[in-house]
């Protein structure tokens, strides 16, 4: 009998679902709930060798932003010293491409998928995210036959815009890419996505691509001129909508608000039951640590940041804040409340003034002026797992050398009884086990 492979004590890994250039995807099961998940496994060495760190950062950041019923959910990101694990929603219906590969779909079925696609794309755009590789292969179907957008590896965020407010990276799949992406003058990612949605709608209704040619350059010329023909079975209403989507001039292309007002689109349209709003999760662009579970629990500190900060040569701190300066970090198996109480006690013992910034975040301020004014230190507790917390100390103001002395000579010795391991240290103070980068 094959040995069960358990990941981080939380997930049982099963059969291989698929293999890509840089990753393998396995079926998995959450051990407590029994829920099915998909586990995407990426080699850290391969990521570094191929220069894909930025792409991995972006994919994680984007997927945590676009929490929508018609987008594959990223549940968790974990890592060891050699591998990165994406724990994702398991979508067992396969690719929409498999349905289209056997021929055209009925108009009502095509409309349903297109409605769900537009709903999800609209939500992505509202969060500043452009997918940039929309195609049937990246659209999955769940057990209820509902569409889920996947693969955000080529997606873009607002910080990728140049001074002209446009994107300039030419990416995507040739048959689905917008004319303006093929040119070298920059493009609006959202408008390019709408073009791709138009190609997808055409494929669903026709069973084949609107722009086809054995010669790639000839196909590009057709794309740039929006040269295509309608099969005779397209209804008048669907022709009219596709004609507004596949417009070579991006400025004249139909917008999503206008799409949702088209009678053909509105027929039987049901808005998603639930969309995870910014207010519900307090998510900010590329700042994942703002995700809150509840006021009674500390902020969620993504395990990916924790482990990569502990692993030299793979710094992903920019994933969480563009200009973040990481301070002293330690892990603890004590409760967040106990950690904060201990930090407050230590600070008061050092004659520092303590003030609460928010739950599980306190500011410690010296009472005497130093070389650059009074030293001010912020301490914040983040949750990694039910029994693991990460504590970050960072200088808010004052002299850097005085801050370093404060951390090394005062804080470290005083907190030794609650520390599991300090960033960069291998010893584990609580149970004698070395920290190998797993949780």
At residue 49, the pLDDT reads 82
- Tally the C-alpha atoms within 13 A of residue 104's C-alpha that lie toward its C-beta: 17
Instruction: Kindly report the CATH number assigned to the domain that includes residue 41.
Output: 3.30.200.20
Q: Which residue has the tokens 């990941």?
A: 7
Q: DSSP for 59-114, please give it.
A: HHHHHHH---TTB--EEEEEE-SSEEEEEEE--TT-BHHHHHTT-PPPHHHHHHHH
At residue 28, the pLDDT reads 95
Residue 46's domain spans which residues? 5-90
Asked whether residue 100 falls in the same domain as residue 235, the answer is yes
Q: Evaluate whether 254 touches 190 at the Cβ level (below 8 Å).
A: no
Q: List binding-site positions.
A: 49
Asked whether residue 101 falls in the same domain as residue 30, the answer is no
Contacts 24+ apart (CB under 8 A), 218-222: 219/174, 219/175, 220/174, 220/182
Asked whether residue 102 falls in the same domain as residue 55, the answer is no
Asked whether residue 233 falls in the same domain as residue 314, the answer is no
Asked whether residue 162 falls in the same domain as residue 184, the answer is yes
- State the Cα–Cα distance between residues 95 and 345, nearest whole angstrom: 56
Q: List binding-site positions for ATP.
A: 49
At residue 50, the pLDDT reads 80
Write down the catalytic residue from 45, 122, 133, 142. Answer: 133
Asked whether residue 362 falls in the same domain as residue 386, the answer is yes
Specify the number of domains making up the chain: 3
Structure tokens at 5: 């492979």
Hey, is 424 helix, strand or coil? coil
At residue 289, the pLDDT reads 33
Q: Which residues are registered as beta bridge partners of 11?
A: 7, 30
Q: Evaluate whether 124 touches 196 at the Cβ level (below 8 Å).
A: no
Asked whether residue 251 falls in the same domain as residue 323, the answer is no
pTM, 2 dp: 0.64
Mean pLDDT by 10 residues, the chain (439 residues): 79 89 89 94 85 82 89 90 91 90 94 97 93 93 94 81 78 88 89 97 96 88 94 97 97 97 95 52 32 45 46 38 55 86 91 85 87 86 73 85 87 87 54 35
Q: Evaluate whether 131 touches 152 at the Cβ level (below 8 Å).
A: yes
Asked whether residue 73 falls in the same domain as residue 106, the answer is no
Report pLDDT digits (tens) over 216-261: 889 999 999 999 999 999 999 999 999 999 999 999 999 999 999 9
- State the Cα–Cα distance between residues 196 and 53, nearest whole angstrom: 27
Asked whether residue 341 falls in the same domain as residue 405, the answer is yes
Task: Tell me, yes or no, if 193 is annotated catalytic.
Answer: no
433 domain residue, yes or no: no
Report pLDDT digits (tens) over 90-102: 999 888 998 998 8
Element holding 29 (H helix, E strand): strand 23-30
CA torsion sign for 410, 412, 416, 419 is positive
Asked whether residue 157 falls in the same domain as residue 113, the answer is yes
147 domain residue, yes or no: yes
Asked whether residue 187 falls in the same domain as residue 221, the answer is yes
Asked whether residue 180 falls in the same domain as residue 34, the answer is no
373 domain residue, yes or no: yes
Q: Which residues are registered as beta bridge partners of 18?
A: 25
At residue 433, the pLDDT reads 38
- H helix and E strand count, the chain: 15, 15
Selection from 205, 198, 200, 201 nearest residue 226 by Cα: 198
- State the Cα–Cα distance between residues 325 and 335, nearest whole angstrom: 25
């Amino acid at each position: 009998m094959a040995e069960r492979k358990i990941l981080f004590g939380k997930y049982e890994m099963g059969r291989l679902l698929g293999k890509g250039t840089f990753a393998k995807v396995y079926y998995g099961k959450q051990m407590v709930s029994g829920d099915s998940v998909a586990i995407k496994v990426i080699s850290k060495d391969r990521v570094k060798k191929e220069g894909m760190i930025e792409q991995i950062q972006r994919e994680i950041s984007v997927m945590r932003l676009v929490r929508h019923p018609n987008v594959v959910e990223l549940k968790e990101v974990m890592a060891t010293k050699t591998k990165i694990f994406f724990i994702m929603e398991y979508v067992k219906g396969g690719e929409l491409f498999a349905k289209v590969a056997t021929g055209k779909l009925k108009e009502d079925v095509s409309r349903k998928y297109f409605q769900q696609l537009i709903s999800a794309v609209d939500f992505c755009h509202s969060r500043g995210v452009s997918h940039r590789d929309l195609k049937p292969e990246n659209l999955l179907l769940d057990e209820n036959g509902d569409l889920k957008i996947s693969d955000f590896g080529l997606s873009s965020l607002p910080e990728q815009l140049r001074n002209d407010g446009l994107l300039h990276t030419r990416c995507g799949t040739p048959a689905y890419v917008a004319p303006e992406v093929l040119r070298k003058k920059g493009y609006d990612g959202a408008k390019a996505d709408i073009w791709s949605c138009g190609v997808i709608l055409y494929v669903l209704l026709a069973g084949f691509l609107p722009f086809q040619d054995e010669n790639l350059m000839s196909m590009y010329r057709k794309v740039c001129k929006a040269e295509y023909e309608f099969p005779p079975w397209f209804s008048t209403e669907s022709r009219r909508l596709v004609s507004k989507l596949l417009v070579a001039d991006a400025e004249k292309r139909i917008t999503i608000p206008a799409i949702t007002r088209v009678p053909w689109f509105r027929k039987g349209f049901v808005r998603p039951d639930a969309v995870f709003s910014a207010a519900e999760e307090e998510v900010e662009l590329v700042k994942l640590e703002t995700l809150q579970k509840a006021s009674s629990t500390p902020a969620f500190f993504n395990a990916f940041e924790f482990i990569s900060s502990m692993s030299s040569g793979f710094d992903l701190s920019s994933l969480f804040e563009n200009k973040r300066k990481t301070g002293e970090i330690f892990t603890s198996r004590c409760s967040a409340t106990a950690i904060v109480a201990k930090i407050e006690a230590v600070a008061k013992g050092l004659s520092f003034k303590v003030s609460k910034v928010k739950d599980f975040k306190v500011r410690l301020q010296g009472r005497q002026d130093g070389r650059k004014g009074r030293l001010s230190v912020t301490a914040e507790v983040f949750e990694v797992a039910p029994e693991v917390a990460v504590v970050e100390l960072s200088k808010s103001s004052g002299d850097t050398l005085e801050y370093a002395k404060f951390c090394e000579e005062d804080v470290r010795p005083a907190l030794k009884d609650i520390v599991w391991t300090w960033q960069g240290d291998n010893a584990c103070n609580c149970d004698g086990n070395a920290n190998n980068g797993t949780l």
